[in-house]
Amino acid sequence: MLEKEPVTLERVYQILLDLKQDIEFLKKAFLENPDLREDFVARMKDIELEKAIPVDDFAKRYELE
């Protein structure tokens, strides 16, 4: 079995940086190709608006365990 990294501030910071890079990539793609943005917005309208969406396995999903 793979050994899990301990949860550290540095690990959380790296996860946040990775998310920021993903968001920047999406923003750039939408600016370069507006058709992608319209399709994305159309798909997101199907998702109910919630203040928070609980994620049962958040720690496992983001390798924080």
Q: Which pLDDT tens digit goes with each residue over 19-61? A: 999 988 888 887 788 777 777 777 777 666 666 667 777 777 7
Mean pLDDT of 10-14: 88
CA of 41: how far to CAs of 20, 37, 53, in Å? 20, 6, 19
Cα–Cα distance for residue pair 57/65, rounded to 1 Å: 10
pTM: 0.47
Tell me which of 3-7, 14-18, 24-28 is least confident. 3-7
Domain ranges of the chain: 7-46
